[in-house]
Amino acid sequence: MAPHDIATAWLAEFDAAIAADDAARAAALFAPDGHLRDILALTWQFTTVSGTAAIAGMLEGGIARMHPRNIRLAAGRTAPRRVTRAGVRVIEVILAFETDLGTGSGVLRLHDAAPARAFTLSLALEALHGYPDVALDRHASDEDYSRDFGGENWLDKRNRSRAYADRDPAVLVVGGGQAGLGIAARLKQLGVDTLIIDREARIGDNWRNRYHALTLHNEVHVNHLPYMPFPPTWPVFIPKDKLANWFESYVDALDLNAWTFTELAGGSYDEAAGHWTVMLRRDGAERVMRPRHIVFATGVSSIPKYAGLPGQADFAGTILHSGAYTDGAAWKGRRAIVVGTGNSGHDVAQDLHASGAHVTMVQRSPTYVVSIREAQSVYAIYTEGLPIADCDLLATAMPYEVLRRAYQLSTAASRKADAALLAGLEARGFRLDFGADDTGFQMKYLRHGGGYYFNVGCSDLIVDGSIGLIQYDSIDRLSPSGLRLKSGETLQADLLVMATGYLNQQDNVRAVLGNTVADRIGPVWGFDEGGELRNMWRQTQQPGLWFTAGSLAQCRIFSRYLALQIKATESGIAPR
């Protein structure tokens, strides 16, 4: 049978079972190894269950609470097709549905064998009834045709809106990078008054002020922001200054309210009033605001973390964190040591080498290395020629265990393709790591925020000896002139770059909102027991406190779901 016919028959049977309040009958349409993933549609949570008994339980609760219905093939979306996902041959289907709260889309993957049984089903709420996101069919009204001669023009209104002279925002977004811009854009379109604050002088400076050679490590078609895709003329790998300028233009084009030179100095939550009282420092002045929500959008990389090398205070040279490194011109002919072998460490080392410095890297822990070309395999869905909205939906539809298996397969393929490079690194004493369960860089990123390198040439420089390498456990201490090794040798250095990562966002909260709030929410990022990222894009244990972070793709995709939750809370329709 054709994929369309198989999908239509399965969905009709599933919808009939749901309409009859028969969760067991609906669950019987899944394979024994099946998974049901919910994104706000059934449980108002991000959660996954596996096995028919657990699936029946989630469906029973979802039927009673959200009343899902009209589950059908989605019109105008990618047609059902045969594909392989995580090594399993499936029929992949994009579907649509409704609930009492709103409308949504989902992804069904059926085992491609008779009788068709579901391998995975993902349901994601995408819009709230009565609160459309962006009108797809806009027509001018009488108000649009009129002109307010003698009154405020567009610029007057924009200046008044972003001044906040007579009001406080409903939502305060801390951070003006891709995470902050994405959620602010979504909330703007849902009519939620939102202010972005950023400590830098200009929007985009979080990218603009980073090291000179920086470009993104994934391809342009993966990285669009909500509502405003990059032009088709853009380079495949976006340079940091081009991205920074786009962020600044994005704020202007989407009429987002943003204050730069502004930082969150502290705050507390009033349980009775249901709002925060926060102190903002803006260009030397202070302002108290009372937003109902704070969204931390400071990224996975927030507060720099330094390796505590013994004798660090004795070193007579310059010590920088990699986040403060810009370019290597000043270090031509001088000796530099880079501590850390993740992406930043390698890129800084390569930039210093290209600038004429004598560079040695210090490896603290085993590192996953993959060539930049092979790294793109994890974004394969985005190369299949589908609309980006369909790609985003497909990307969210992988339950943890299926995602884990998919990354194991892609990592194994990359290791084979990169075998010569990896052998050369091992011959130089570089310690390789492929993840705790051979899942490669994506799981390392999702679990820990780092621990990998996309090779754009630095590995080759290590292999041929152009860049030196020592292991951290060979170090005795820092001396005034450099690193003293346990062998008695001293590695001379003028510059020490700490490419040693960043603290957890929980530490950022602790610094500005205090221990009580930080301890209440717990760690941010990394997987919880259910295979979801902890505290990300969903309500935390602290009312009115939310987090968004990650790659441009993650921020684009999950900003929709975070915005829906905040809008539902603001509108008084959020399920309890």
Q: State what percent of residues in the chain have pLDDT above 90.
A: 89
Residue 301 pLDDT: 59
Tokens encoding 66: 């959200």
- Host domain of residue 525: 157-302+503-571
Q: Are residues 413 and 361 in the same domain?
A: yes
Which tens digits make up the pLDDT trace of 144-154? 777 888 889 99
d(CA 458, CA 354): 10
How many domains does the chain contain in total?
3
Q: Are residues 120 and 193 in the same domain?
A: no
Instruction: Read off the pLDDT band of 213 (50, 70, 90).
Output: confident
Which tens digits make up the pLDDT trace of 420-459? 999 999 999 999 999 989 999 999 999 988 899 999 999 9
Q: Give the domain-ending residue among 112, 128, 144.
A: 128
Q: Are residues 435 and 324 in the same domain?
A: yes
Rounded to an integer, the average pLDDT of 170-180 is: 97
Residue 140 pLDDT: 75
Q: Are residues 118 and 186 in the same domain?
A: no
Query: Parallel, antiparallel, or unpaired for β 293-296 and 171-174?
Result: parallel
Instruction: Say if 144 falls within a structural domain.
Output: no
Distance of CA 171 to the CA centre of its chain: 20
We report the CATH number of the domain holding residue 42 as 3.10.450.50
Q: What phi, psi does 398 have (nearest 5°)? A: -90, 110
Q: Provide the sign of the torsion angle of the four alpha carbons 500, 505, 510, 515, taken in this order.
A: negative
Q: What phi, psi does 235 have (nearest 5°)? A: -65, 155
Instruction: Say if 428 falls within a structural domain.
Output: yes
Whether residue 229 has a cis bond before it, omega within 30° of 0: no
Report which residue type is found at 470.
Answer: I
DSSP reduced 3-state for 396: helix
76, pLDDT greater than 70? yes
Instruction: Say if 354 falls within a structural domain.
Output: yes
Q: Are residues 391 and 493 in the same domain?
A: yes
Instruction: Read off the pLDDT band of 475 (50, 70, 90).
Output: very high
d(CA 390, CA 404): 21
Q: Are residues 285 and 387 in the same domain?
A: no
Residue 221 pLDDT: 93
Residue 189 pLDDT: 95
Q: Are residues 396 and 454 in the same domain?
A: yes
64, pLDDT greater than 70? yes
Q: Are residues 341 and 487 in the same domain?
A: yes
Instruction: Say if 148 falls within a structural domain.
Output: no
Rounded to an integer, the average pLDDT of 147-165 is: 92
Instruction: Say if 42 falls within a structural domain.
Output: yes
Plot region of 380 (φ>0 → left; ψ -120 to 50 → alpha; else → beta): alpha
141, pLDDT greater than 80? no
Which tens digits make up the pLDDT trace of 485-514? 999 999 999 999 999 988 888 999 999 999
Instruction: Say if 248 falls within a structural domain.
Output: yes
Contact 472, 364 (CB under 8 A): yes
Residue 407 pLDDT: 95
Least confident segment among 131-135, 406-410, 412-416, 555-559 = 131-135
Which tens digits make up the pLDDT trace of 238-252? 999 999 999 999 999
d(CA 547, CA 524): 8
Which tens digits make up the pLDDT trace of 88-138? 999 999 999 999 999 999 999 999 999 999 999 999 999 999 998 665 556
Instruction: Say if 461 falls within a structural domain.
Output: yes
Q: Are residues 225 and 290 in the same domain?
A: yes
Q: Are residues 318 and 467 in the same domain?
A: yes
Residue 306 pLDDT: 84
Q: Are residues 124 and 51 in the same domain?
A: yes
We report the CATH number of the domain holding residue 432 as 3.50.50.60
Residue 138 pLDDT: 66
Q: Give the domain-ending residue among 82, 108, 128.
A: 128
d(CA 433, CA 447): 14
Helix (H) or strand (E) holding 552: helix 552-571
Residue 132 pLDDT: 80
Which tens digits make up the pLDDT trace of 318-358? 999 998 999 999 999 999 999 999 999 999 999 999 999 99
Residue 134 pLDDT: 65
Q: Are residues 494 and 508 in the same domain?
A: no
pTM for the full predicted model: 0.95
Q: Give the domain-ending residue among 443, 463, 498.
A: 498
Average pLDDT, the chain: 95
β-bridge partners, 199: none
Instruction: Say if 222 falls within a structural domain.
Output: yes
397, pLDDT greater than 60? yes
